């Protein structure tokens, strides 16, 4: 029994060593031409954001470490003493109105950084999003400068045409529908929509009409819909899934043996699907979407039949319409 317990303890220790996060030593930040408190604040932010990402265990320097700021050799030695496999060196240098921030991640006993990046800060408020992006990407194949998260944007970046922050849009859509019953037929139409980006969710309100005077043997489809979508991430190009509930109106022509009779029906309709938002949180955005829809009410259709004598007869049949809806929209921030 004792041997089993020992083996179990060894196995657990081995498993813990495999899955344990790497220990990384954070050296004091070199601050040139700026208030040293900014460097101290950046160190605290780095601790918080790296802990949040759970990729590394960050070991911050202490006054007892007695290392020279910016001295890679003494930092490397101290990192080994603290049983760290890597160490981070950072420099903040004022250049005119801006501060150039530089971050490097080294393996111990290596002179070449395994990851490095440089970002520009326009004011002290930029330090927080910069450190957050570095903490999210350090040690990966991605650079912080290429991080498209629209909620960690610096004031410096908003000086460029890539203006961030607008989250409500109004626009138009080109729509195609492919009802699957009674017969698959593709129809085209137009729509208008109001789109709200609330970071974790998208809200959408739209009105659309399809088959406007195109074919009298198929109904015109009109919808007013409210929908909720969930985006995968916060990058400028974000895929999403979602669905919504619509008030649907269907208008068609039922042909009997004598007259054409106008038929109107309405009720609730459900839509679900997904798509992609392009150029998210900028002045102009685009959205591509594919949904599956199903009506909770019936729509009458005319079906021509011939009797045994060869005479044509019109038969009215009701169907719960369902099928696919394709759309491509363009919108401006409001």
For residue 213, count CB atoms less than 10 angstroms from its CB and return exposed for 0-12, middle for 13-18, buried for 19 or more: exposed
How far apart (Å, rounded) are the C-alpha atoms in residues 293 and 237? 25
How far apart (Å, rounded) are the C-alpha atoms in residues 119 and 18? 33
At 217 the pLDDT is 66
Over residues 188-217, the pLDDT tens digits come to 999 999 999 988 899 999 999 998 765 566
CATH, domain range 168-333 = 2.40.160.20
At 109 the pLDDT is 92
At 243 the pLDDT is 95
Fold identical between 22-159 and 168-333?
no
At 34 the pLDDT is 86
Cβ atoms < 10 Å from Cβ of 82? 16
DSSP state of 281: T
Determine which helix (DSSP H) or strand (DSSP E) holds 73, and give its type and residue range.
helix 72-81
Q: Which residues of the chain have pLDDT under 50?
A: 12, 14-19, 150-151, 160-163
Taking the model in full, what pTM does it have?
A: 0.55
The pairing of strands 312-333 and 168-179 is: antiparallel
The structural architecture, per CATH, of the domain 22-159 is 3-Layer(aba) Sandwich (3.40)
DSSP string for 44-57: HHHHHHHHHHTSEE
How far apart (Å, rounded) are the C-alpha atoms in residues 303 and 254? 9
Task: Give me the residue spans of the domains in the chain.
Answer: 22-159, 168-333
How far apart (Å, rounded) are the C-alpha atoms in residues 119 and 145? 7
Q: How far is CA 95 from CA 71, 121, 131, 157, in A?
A: 22, 10, 19, 17
């Amino acid at each position: 029994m004792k041997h089993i317990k020992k083996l179990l303890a060894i196995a657990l220790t081995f498993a813990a060593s495999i899955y344990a996060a790497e220990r990384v030593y954070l050296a004091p930040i070199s601050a040139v031409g700026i208030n040293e408190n900014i460097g101290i604040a950046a160190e605290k932010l780095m601790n918080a954001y790296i802990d949040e990402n759970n990729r590394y265990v960050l070991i911050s320097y202490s006054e007892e470490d007695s290392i020279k700021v910016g001295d890679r050799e003494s930092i490397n030695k101290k990192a080994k003493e603290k049983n760290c496999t890597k160490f981070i060196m950072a420099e903040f240098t004022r250049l005119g109105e801006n501060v150039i921030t530089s971050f490097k991640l080294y393996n111990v006993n290596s002179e070449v950084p395994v990851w490095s990046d440089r970002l520009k800060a326009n004011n002290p408020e930029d330090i927080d999003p910069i450190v957050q992006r570095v903490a999210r990407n350090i040690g990966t194949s991605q650079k912080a400068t290429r991080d498209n998260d629209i909620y960690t944007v610096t004031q410096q970046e908003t000086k460029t045409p890539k203006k961030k922050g607008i989250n409500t849009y109004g626009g138009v859509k080109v729509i195609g529908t492919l009802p699957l019953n009674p017969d698959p037929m593709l129809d085209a139409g137009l729509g208008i929509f109001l789109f709200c980006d609330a970071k974790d969710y998208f809200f959408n309100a739209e009105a659309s009409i399809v088959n406007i005077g195109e074919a009298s043997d198929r109904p015109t489809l009109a919808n007013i819909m409210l929908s909720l979508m969930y985006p995968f991430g916060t990058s400028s190009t974000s895929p999403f899934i979602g669905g919504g509930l619509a008030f649907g109106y269907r208008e068609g022509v039922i042909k009997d043996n004598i007259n054409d009779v106008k038929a109107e029906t309405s009720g609730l309709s459900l839509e679900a699907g997904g798509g992609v938002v392009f150029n998210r949180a900028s002045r102009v955005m685009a959205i591509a979407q594919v949904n599956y829809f199903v009506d909770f009410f019936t729509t009458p259709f005319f079906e021509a039949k011939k009797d045994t004598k060869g005479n044509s007869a019109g038969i009215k049949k009701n169907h719960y319409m369902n099928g696919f809806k394709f759309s491509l929209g363009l919108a401006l921030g409001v």
